[in-house]
Structure 1
Protein backbone atom coordinates (compact mmCIF):
# COMPACT_ATOMS: atom_id res chain seq x y z
CA UNK A 1 0.00 0.00 0.00
CA UNK A 2 1.07 3.57 -0.59
CA UNK A 3 1.87 5.94 2.29
CA UNK A 4 -1.40 7.80 1.69
CA UNK A 5 -3.45 4.64 2.14
CA UNK A 6 -1.49 3.70 5.25
CA UNK A 7 -2.27 7.14 6.62
CA UNK A 8 -5.99 6.40 6.23
CA UNK A 9 -5.56 3.10 8.08
CA UNK A 10 -3.56 4.70 10.90
CA UNK A 11 -6.21 7.39 11.34
CA UNK A 12 -8.73 4.57 11.60
CA UNK A 13 -6.62 2.87 14.27
CA UNK A 14 -6.53 6.09 16.29
CA UNK A 15 -10.30 6.55 16.05
CA UNK A 16 -10.84 2.93 17.12
CA UNK A 17 -8.55 3.33 20.13
CA UNK A 18 -10.31 6.53 21.19
CA UNK A 19 -13.70 4.87 20.87
CA UNK A 20 -12.45 1.83 22.80
CA UNK A 21 -11.14 3.96 25.66
CA UNK A 22 -14.20 6.20 25.95
CA UNK A 23 -16.74 3.36 25.72
CA UNK A 24 -14.70 1.21 28.14
CA UNK A 25 -14.66 4.03 30.71
CA UNK A 26 -18.42 4.48 30.38
CA UNK A 27 -18.90 0.72 30.47
CA UNK A 28 -16.95 0.41 33.73
CA UNK A 29 -19.10 3.09 35.36
CA UNK A 30 -22.30 1.42 34.14
CA UNK A 31 -21.06 -2.02 35.19
CA UNK A 32 -20.22 -0.98 38.75
CA UNK A 33 -23.34 1.14 39.25
CA UNK A 34 -25.68 -1.59 38.02
CA UNK A 35 -23.66 -4.46 39.52
CA UNK A 36 -23.48 -2.93 42.99
CA UNK A 37 -27.13 -1.91 42.80
CA UNK A 38 -28.09 -5.51 42.07
CA UNK A 39 -26.69 -6.49 45.47
CA UNK A 40 -28.55 -3.70 47.28
CA UNK A 41 -30.68 -4.59 50.30
CA UNK A 42 -33.73 -2.76 48.90
CA UNK A 43 -35.76 -4.82 46.44
CA UNK A 44 -36.82 -1.93 44.20
CA UNK A 45 -33.18 -0.88 43.69
CA UNK A 46 -32.37 -4.46 42.66
CA UNK A 47 -35.43 -4.51 40.41
CA UNK A 48 -34.58 -1.25 38.62
CA UNK A 49 -30.93 -2.15 38.11
CA UNK A 50 -31.92 -5.62 36.92
CA UNK A 51 -34.40 -4.15 34.45
CA UNK A 52 -31.76 -1.78 33.05
CA UNK A 53 -29.31 -4.67 32.74
CA UNK A 54 -31.76 -6.84 30.85
CA UNK A 55 -32.77 -4.03 28.48
CA UNK A 56 -29.24 -3.14 27.43
CA UNK A 57 -27.90 -6.69 27.56
CA UNK A 58 -30.81 -8.04 25.57
CA UNK A 59 -30.54 -5.44 22.78
CA UNK A 60 -28.28 -5.74 19.77
CA UNK A 61 -25.34 -3.34 19.95
CA UNK A 62 -25.83 -2.55 16.27
CA UNK A 63 -29.50 -1.68 16.80
CA UNK A 64 -28.54 0.42 19.84
CA UNK A 65 -26.10 2.40 17.70
CA UNK A 66 -28.81 3.00 15.10
CA UNK A 67 -31.24 4.03 17.84
CA UNK A 68 -28.85 6.46 19.52
CA UNK A 69 -27.66 8.01 16.28
CA UNK A 70 -30.84 8.04 14.16
CA UNK A 71 -33.80 7.83 16.58
CA UNK A 72 -32.74 10.16 19.39
CA UNK A 73 -32.23 13.28 17.21
CA UNK A 74 -35.81 13.61 15.91
CA UNK A 75 -37.25 12.40 19.22
CA UNK A 76 -35.38 14.82 21.48
CA UNK A 77 -34.18 17.52 19.10
CA UNK A 78 -30.43 17.05 19.50
CA UNK A 79 -27.77 15.18 17.58
CA UNK A 80 -24.75 13.34 18.92
CA UNK A 81 -21.58 13.28 16.87
CA UNK A 82 -20.67 9.72 15.76
CA UNK A 83 -17.91 9.36 18.39
CA UNK A 84 -20.22 10.09 21.31
CA UNK A 85 -23.13 8.16 19.81
CA UNK A 86 -20.88 5.11 19.46
CA UNK A 87 -19.47 5.63 22.96
CA UNK A 88 -22.94 5.83 24.49
CA UNK A 89 -24.32 2.80 22.65
CA UNK A 90 -21.31 0.57 23.23
CA UNK A 91 -20.74 1.75 26.80
CA UNK A 92 -24.33 0.99 27.82
CA UNK A 93 -24.42 -2.35 26.02
CA UNK A 94 -21.13 -3.75 27.25
CA UNK A 95 -21.54 -2.11 30.65
CA UNK A 96 -24.72 -4.14 31.11
CA UNK A 97 -22.74 -7.32 30.47
CA UNK A 98 -20.08 -6.09 32.87
CA UNK A 99 -22.65 -5.55 35.61
CA UNK A 100 -23.15 -9.31 35.81
CA UNK A 101 -19.40 -9.71 36.31
CA UNK A 102 -19.48 -7.19 39.17
CA UNK A 103 -22.55 -8.77 40.79
CA UNK A 104 -21.12 -12.27 40.56
CA UNK A 105 -17.75 -11.24 42.00
CA UNK A 106 -19.37 -9.41 44.92
CA UNK A 107 -21.59 -12.37 45.72
CA UNK A 108 -18.58 -14.71 45.65
CA UNK A 109 -16.88 -12.91 48.56
CA UNK A 110 -16.97 -15.01 51.72
CA UNK A 111 -20.13 -14.03 53.68
CA UNK A 112 -17.99 -14.03 56.84
CA UNK A 113 -16.22 -10.93 55.48
CA UNK A 114 -19.51 -9.06 55.20
CA UNK A 115 -20.57 -10.23 58.65
CA UNK A 116 -17.24 -9.10 60.06
CA UNK A 117 -17.85 -5.62 58.68
CA UNK A 118 -21.29 -5.54 60.28
CA UNK A 119 -19.78 -6.63 63.60
CA UNK A 120 -17.28 -3.79 63.35
CA UNK A 121 -20.11 -1.30 62.85
CA UNK A 122 -19.25 -0.43 59.24
CA UNK A 123 -21.92 1.26 57.15
CA UNK A 124 -23.02 -0.54 53.93
CA UNK A 125 -20.84 1.82 51.86
CA UNK A 126 -17.83 1.21 54.14
CA UNK A 127 -18.32 -2.55 53.85
CA UNK A 128 -18.50 -2.23 50.08
CA UNK A 129 -15.48 0.07 49.79
CA UNK A 130 -13.19 -1.44 52.43
CA UNK A 131 -14.09 -5.13 52.41
CA UNK A 132 -16.06 -6.36 49.41
CA UNK A 133 -14.64 -4.42 46.46
CA UNK A 134 -10.93 -4.93 47.34
CA UNK A 135 -11.55 -8.69 47.34
CA UNK A 136 -13.95 -8.81 44.42
CA UNK A 137 -12.17 -6.56 41.90
CA UNK A 138 -9.18 -8.89 41.30
CA UNK A 139 -11.64 -11.69 40.52
CA UNK A 140 -13.37 -9.47 37.96
CA UNK A 141 -10.26 -8.75 35.90
CA UNK A 142 -10.14 -11.95 33.74
CA UNK A 143 -13.81 -11.58 32.79
CA UNK A 144 -13.41 -7.86 32.20
CA UNK A 145 -10.40 -8.63 30.00
CA UNK A 146 -12.55 -10.88 27.81
CA UNK A 147 -15.29 -8.26 27.71
CA UNK A 148 -12.77 -5.60 26.72
CA UNK A 149 -11.67 -7.72 23.76
CA UNK A 150 -15.31 -8.14 22.75
CA UNK A 151 -15.74 -4.37 23.01
CA UNK A 152 -12.72 -3.86 20.75
CA UNK A 153 -14.33 -6.04 18.10
CA UNK A 154 -17.66 -4.31 18.68
CA UNK A 155 -16.17 -0.94 17.79
CA UNK A 156 -16.30 -2.03 14.13
CA UNK A 157 -20.08 -1.59 14.29
CA UNK A 158 -19.75 2.20 14.33
CA UNK A 159 -18.75 2.10 10.67
CA UNK A 160 -22.49 2.02 9.88
CA UNK A 161 -22.59 5.70 10.91
CA UNK A 162 -19.82 6.52 8.44
CA UNK A 163 -17.39 6.97 11.31
CA UNK A 164 -13.77 6.66 10.21
CA UNK A 165 -12.77 3.80 12.50
CA UNK A 166 -10.45 0.95 11.52
CA UNK A 167 -13.17 -1.08 9.80
CA UNK A 168 -14.46 1.91 7.82
CA UNK A 169 -10.94 2.92 6.83
CA UNK A 170 -10.20 -0.62 5.69
CA UNK A 171 -13.20 -0.53 3.41
CA UNK A 172 -12.05 2.76 1.87
CA UNK A 173 -8.62 1.30 1.19
CA UNK A 174 -10.18 -1.87 -0.22
CA UNK A 175 -12.21 0.18 -2.67
CA UNK A 176 -9.10 2.12 -3.69
CA UNK A 177 -6.93 -0.97 -4.18
CA UNK A 178 -9.63 -3.38 -5.32
CA UNK A 179 -7.82 -5.99 -3.24
CA UNK A 180 -9.75 -7.43 -0.33
CA UNK A 181 -7.31 -10.13 0.80
CA UNK A 182 -4.34 -7.85 1.42
CA UNK A 183 -6.08 -5.06 3.28
CA UNK A 184 -8.26 -7.30 5.45
CA UNK A 185 -5.24 -9.42 6.37
CA UNK A 186 -3.53 -6.27 7.60
CA UNK A 187 -6.65 -5.25 9.53
CA UNK A 188 -6.92 -8.67 11.16
CA UNK A 189 -3.33 -8.35 12.32
CA UNK A 190 -3.91 -4.84 13.68
CA UNK A 191 -6.95 -5.97 15.68
CA UNK A 192 -4.96 -8.95 16.97
CA UNK A 193 -2.04 -6.76 18.10
CA UNK A 194 -4.37 -4.37 19.93
CA UNK A 195 -6.19 -7.27 21.59
CA UNK A 196 -2.90 -8.91 22.58
CA UNK A 197 -1.65 -5.71 24.20
CA UNK A 198 -4.93 -5.24 26.06
CA UNK A 199 -4.72 -8.80 27.39
CA UNK A 200 -1.18 -8.24 28.65
CA UNK A 201 -2.15 -4.99 30.37
CA UNK A 202 -5.15 -6.63 32.06
CA UNK A 203 -3.04 -9.57 33.23
CA UNK A 204 -0.52 -7.19 34.71
CA UNK A 205 -3.31 -5.30 36.47
CA UNK A 206 -4.75 -8.53 37.84
CA UNK A 207 -1.37 -9.61 39.19
CA UNK A 208 -0.78 -6.24 40.82
CA UNK A 209 -4.20 -6.18 42.48
CA UNK A 210 -3.80 -9.70 43.84
CA UNK A 211 -0.39 -8.83 45.24
CA UNK A 212 -1.88 -5.80 46.98
CA UNK A 213 -4.72 -7.91 48.34
CA UNK A 214 -2.29 -10.53 49.65
CA UNK A 215 -0.39 -7.82 51.51
CA UNK A 216 -3.36 -6.29 53.35
CA UNK A 217 -5.48 -7.64 56.20
CA UNK A 218 -9.04 -8.65 55.35
CA UNK A 219 -11.97 -6.73 56.77
CA UNK A 220 -13.03 -9.68 58.91
CA UNK A 221 -9.63 -9.82 60.57
CA UNK A 222 -9.34 -6.10 61.15
Structure 2
Protein backbone atom coordinates (compact mmCIF):
# COMPACT_ATOMS: atom_id res chain seq x y z
CA UNK A 1 0.00 0.00 0.00
CA UNK A 2 2.82 2.37 0.92
CA UNK A 3 4.53 1.72 -2.42
CA UNK A 4 1.28 2.55 -4.24
CA UNK A 5 0.95 5.85 -2.34
CA UNK A 6 4.58 6.74 -3.07
CA UNK A 7 4.11 6.03 -6.78
CA UNK A 8 0.89 8.05 -6.83
CA UNK A 9 2.65 10.97 -5.11
CA UNK A 10 5.50 10.85 -7.64
CA UNK A 11 3.00 10.85 -10.53
CA UNK A 12 1.22 13.90 -9.05
CA UNK A 13 4.50 15.77 -8.62
CA UNK A 14 5.49 15.03 -12.22
CA UNK A 15 2.06 16.09 -13.46
CA UNK A 16 2.22 19.41 -11.58
CA UNK A 17 5.78 19.99 -12.87
CA UNK A 18 4.72 19.39 -16.47
CA UNK A 19 1.71 21.67 -16.05
CA UNK A 20 3.94 24.43 -14.63
CA UNK A 21 6.45 24.12 -17.48
CA UNK A 22 3.64 24.25 -20.02
CA UNK A 23 2.21 27.39 -18.43
CA UNK A 24 5.62 29.05 -18.46
CA UNK A 25 6.02 28.23 -22.16
CA UNK A 26 2.57 29.65 -22.92
CA UNK A 27 3.40 32.82 -21.01
CA UNK A 28 6.52 33.24 -23.15
CA UNK A 29 4.69 32.60 -26.40
CA UNK A 30 1.73 34.82 -25.50
CA UNK A 31 3.53 37.83 -24.06
CA UNK A 32 1.68 41.10 -24.39
CA UNK A 33 2.50 43.28 -27.35
CA UNK A 34 1.95 47.04 -27.48
CA UNK A 35 -0.54 48.38 -29.99
CA UNK A 36 0.72 49.76 -33.30
CA UNK A 37 -0.43 53.24 -32.32
CA UNK A 38 2.32 53.41 -29.68
CA UNK A 39 5.11 52.55 -32.11
CA UNK A 40 7.32 55.58 -32.76
CA UNK A 41 7.49 56.88 -36.31
CA UNK A 42 9.91 59.79 -36.07
CA UNK A 43 13.62 59.05 -35.91
CA UNK A 44 15.48 60.70 -33.02
CA UNK A 45 19.15 61.47 -33.40
CA UNK A 46 21.29 60.03 -30.61
CA UNK A 47 24.69 58.39 -30.19
CA UNK A 48 23.74 55.44 -27.96
CA UNK A 49 25.39 52.26 -29.19
CA UNK A 50 26.11 48.80 -27.80
CA UNK A 51 28.84 46.70 -29.40
CA UNK A 52 28.86 42.94 -28.88
CA UNK A 53 31.96 40.94 -29.78
CA UNK A 54 32.41 37.16 -29.88
CA UNK A 55 28.78 36.12 -30.35
CA UNK A 56 26.74 34.36 -33.02
CA UNK A 57 24.02 36.14 -34.98
CA UNK A 58 21.41 33.66 -33.75
CA UNK A 59 22.29 34.24 -30.10
CA UNK A 60 22.28 38.02 -30.54
CA UNK A 61 18.88 37.91 -32.24
CA UNK A 62 17.51 35.73 -29.43
CA UNK A 63 18.88 38.04 -26.75
CA UNK A 64 17.39 41.13 -28.43
CA UNK A 65 14.02 39.42 -28.89
CA UNK A 66 13.92 38.41 -25.21
CA UNK A 67 14.88 41.93 -24.13
CA UNK A 68 12.06 43.41 -26.22
CA UNK A 69 9.58 40.93 -24.75
CA UNK A 70 10.53 42.16 -21.29
CA UNK A 71 10.49 45.90 -21.93
CA UNK A 72 7.92 46.39 -24.71
CA UNK A 73 4.59 45.51 -23.12
CA UNK A 74 2.12 48.38 -22.80
CA UNK A 75 4.21 50.57 -25.07
CA UNK A 76 7.42 50.53 -27.10
CA UNK A 77 10.06 51.37 -24.53
CA UNK A 78 12.85 50.32 -26.85
CA UNK A 79 13.28 49.58 -30.54
CA UNK A 80 16.67 48.07 -31.22
CA UNK A 81 18.50 48.10 -34.54
CA UNK A 82 20.92 45.23 -35.10
CA UNK A 83 23.78 45.57 -37.58
CA UNK A 84 26.54 43.08 -38.21
CA UNK A 85 29.80 45.02 -38.37
CA UNK A 86 32.30 42.16 -38.54
CA UNK A 87 32.87 38.46 -37.98
CA UNK A 88 30.90 37.67 -34.79
CA UNK A 89 30.75 41.40 -34.11
CA UNK A 90 27.51 43.39 -33.91
CA UNK A 91 26.22 46.83 -33.08
CA UNK A 92 22.89 47.66 -31.47
CA UNK A 93 21.60 51.19 -31.96
CA UNK A 94 18.36 52.95 -31.10
CA UNK A 95 16.84 54.79 -34.07
CA UNK A 96 14.04 56.29 -31.94
CA UNK A 97 16.30 56.84 -28.93
CA UNK A 98 15.88 55.14 -25.54
CA UNK A 99 15.93 56.53 -22.02
CA UNK A 100 19.23 56.20 -20.20
CA UNK A 101 17.84 53.87 -17.52
CA UNK A 102 16.59 51.30 -20.04
CA UNK A 103 19.85 51.69 -21.95
CA UNK A 104 21.76 50.66 -18.81
CA UNK A 105 19.39 47.73 -18.30
CA UNK A 106 20.10 46.67 -21.88
CA UNK A 107 23.85 46.66 -21.29
CA UNK A 108 23.37 44.46 -18.23
CA UNK A 109 20.93 42.18 -20.07
CA UNK A 110 23.27 41.57 -22.99
CA UNK A 111 26.07 40.76 -20.56
CA UNK A 112 23.81 38.23 -18.81
CA UNK A 113 21.16 37.15 -21.36
CA UNK A 114 18.50 34.72 -20.17
CA UNK A 115 19.04 31.09 -21.24
CA UNK A 116 21.97 31.96 -23.51
CA UNK A 117 25.49 30.88 -22.62
CA UNK A 118 28.10 33.06 -24.22
CA UNK A 119 31.41 34.76 -23.49
CA UNK A 120 30.60 37.87 -25.43
CA UNK A 121 32.32 41.16 -24.80
CA UNK A 122 29.65 43.84 -24.31
CA UNK A 123 30.39 47.56 -24.19
CA UNK A 124 28.24 50.60 -24.76
CA UNK A 125 28.63 54.32 -25.32
CA UNK A 126 26.39 57.36 -24.98
CA UNK A 127 26.39 61.06 -24.22
CA UNK A 128 24.72 61.73 -20.89
CA UNK A 129 22.24 64.43 -19.93
CA UNK A 130 21.96 66.14 -16.57
CA UNK A 131 18.49 64.70 -15.94
CA UNK A 132 19.44 61.09 -16.75
CA UNK A 133 19.10 58.53 -13.98
CA UNK A 134 22.33 57.99 -11.96
CA UNK A 135 24.04 60.97 -13.59
CA UNK A 136 25.81 63.51 -11.36
CA UNK A 137 27.42 66.87 -12.05
CA UNK A 138 30.71 65.03 -12.62
CA UNK A 139 29.24 62.81 -15.33
CA UNK A 140 26.58 65.03 -16.92
CA UNK A 141 26.83 66.06 -20.57
CA UNK A 142 29.83 63.83 -21.18
CA UNK A 143 30.58 60.90 -23.41
CA UNK A 144 30.61 57.74 -21.31
CA UNK A 145 31.46 54.07 -21.73
CA UNK A 146 29.29 51.43 -20.03
CA UNK A 147 30.40 47.89 -19.31
CA UNK A 148 30.51 45.11 -16.71
CA UNK A 149 33.92 43.96 -15.43
CA UNK A 150 34.89 40.31 -15.85
CA UNK A 151 35.09 39.80 -12.08
CA UNK A 152 31.54 41.04 -11.43
CA UNK A 153 29.58 38.62 -9.22
CA UNK A 154 26.55 40.78 -8.42
CA UNK A 155 24.83 40.63 -11.84
CA UNK A 156 22.61 43.65 -11.16
CA UNK A 157 24.70 46.68 -12.05
CA UNK A 158 26.73 48.34 -14.76
CA UNK A 159 29.91 50.37 -14.56
CA UNK A 160 30.42 53.74 -16.17
CA UNK A 161 33.57 55.60 -17.15
CA UNK A 162 33.39 59.18 -18.38
CA UNK A 163 35.50 60.57 -21.20
CA UNK A 164 37.78 62.12 -18.56
CA UNK A 165 38.06 58.81 -16.67
CA UNK A 166 35.75 59.32 -13.72
CA UNK A 167 34.29 55.96 -12.75
CA UNK A 168 30.95 54.96 -11.24
CA UNK A 169 29.15 51.78 -10.29
CA UNK A 170 25.43 51.99 -11.10
CA UNK A 171 23.31 49.55 -9.08
CA UNK A 172 19.81 48.15 -9.74
CA UNK A 173 19.10 45.80 -6.82
CA UNK A 174 18.09 48.09 -3.94
CA UNK A 175 16.61 50.83 -6.07
CA UNK A 176 18.88 52.92 -8.24
CA UNK A 177 22.20 53.23 -6.41
CA UNK A 178 25.33 55.06 -7.50
CA UNK A 179 28.87 54.76 -6.20
CA UNK A 180 31.74 57.03 -7.19
CA UNK A 181 34.89 54.92 -7.63
CA UNK A 182 38.41 55.95 -6.68
CA UNK A 183 39.52 54.71 -10.09
CA UNK A 184 37.33 53.38 -12.91
CA UNK A 185 37.27 49.63 -13.53
CA UNK A 186 38.16 50.35 -17.16
CA UNK A 187 39.67 53.46 -18.71
CA UNK A 188 37.54 55.23 -21.28
CA UNK A 189 37.96 54.09 -24.87
CA UNK A 190 36.26 55.48 -27.94
CA UNK A 191 33.91 53.06 -29.71
CA UNK A 192 35.57 51.09 -32.50
CA UNK A 193 32.82 52.20 -34.86
CA UNK A 194 30.45 55.17 -34.90
CA UNK A 195 26.81 55.30 -35.87
CA UNK A 196 27.40 57.39 -39.00
CA UNK A 197 29.77 54.65 -40.22
CA UNK A 198 27.05 51.98 -40.18
CA UNK A 199 23.89 53.77 -41.32
CA UNK A 200 24.21 52.39 -44.85
CA UNK A 201 24.79 48.79 -43.74
CA UNK A 202 22.07 46.15 -43.74
CA UNK A 203 20.14 46.09 -40.46
CA UNK A 204 17.25 44.43 -38.61
CA UNK A 205 14.87 46.26 -36.28
CA UNK A 206 13.38 44.60 -33.19
CA UNK A 207 10.56 45.94 -31.06
TM surpasses 0.5: no
Give TM class, smaller chain. Answer: under 0.3
Query: 1 or 2 for the larger relative contact order (CA 8 Å, sep ≥6)?
Result: 1
Relative to total residues, which structure has the larger helix share, 1 or 2?
Answer: 1
Q: What is the TM-score normalised by the length of structure 2?
A: 0.26
